[in-house]
Amino acid sequence: MGSNILMIFVKVVTRGSGLKVSAVVSINLLVILLFRNNALTPYLTMLLSMVASAAIIIIDFRLHSLLLYVLYVYGSRPNTVRILISLYSLLIASILSLPYLAIDLMSFSSALTSTFLIALSTLSLIYKNVRGGTSITF
């Protein structure tokens, strides 16, 4: 995948979802600061991240579908479009999970890691639907 296509992708993600992602991360950080001694806080931030991810995908659905479609129409290879979809999923999920990961690093537990993996699986399922909605036949 060329660096130019990556540039288009980063631009769209930043302009389309950047503000929303920043807001969610800020809220999560605030929750951590306010309730740092509560054992449920990591789960709460994880839940917030998941709900926010789903909301961002729904809100920006048209933009993401359009970008993928336009890239495909104007000559991107199908594999490039596939990689972009996965990369976008990973990027949003990672950024939204930053507050949670900070807690996880400080107090590692298998329960937290399992929750995190379940959250990521859920996100990839949602993205599968996004891909289905782009009307691209690979």
Partner 1 sequence: MGDVVVLLKDVWKTYDEGNNKVVVLKKINASLMRGEIVGIHGPSGSGKTTLLKLIAGLIRPDRGEIIVDGYNLNMLDDNGLAMIRNTVVSYIPQDYGVIDEFTVFENVELPMLIAGVGKEERVRRVREVLEYIGLYNKVNVKTKLLSGGERQRVAIARALVMTPSVLLADEPTANLDWNTALKVIELFKNIREDFKTTIVIVTHDPRLLDLMDRSFTLMDGYLKDTTYKRREL
Binding site for partner 1 (CB under 8 A): 2, 4-5, 7-8, 11-12, 15-16, 63, 66-67, 69-79, 137-138
- Rg over CA atoms, the chain: 16
Cβ closer to partner 1: 16 or 43?
16
Q: Which is nearer to partner 1, 108 or 138 (CB)?
A: 138
- For residue 46, the minimal CB distance to partner 1 (Å) is 29
CA distances from 6 to 16, 58, 84, 106, 118 (A): 15, 22, 8, 33, 28
Q: Note the maximum CA span of the chain.
A: 52
What is the nearest approach in angstroms of partner 1 to the Cβ of residue 134? 12
Shortest separation between residue 60's beta carbon and partner 1, angstroms? 10
Q: Please, what is the minimum distance in Å from the beta carbon of residue 67 to partner 1?
A: 6
Q: Which is nearer to partner 1, 88 or 100 (CB)?
A: 88
Q: How far apart are CA 41 and CA 14, in angstroms?
A: 28
Angle between helices 41-59 and 3-34 (to 10 degrees): 140
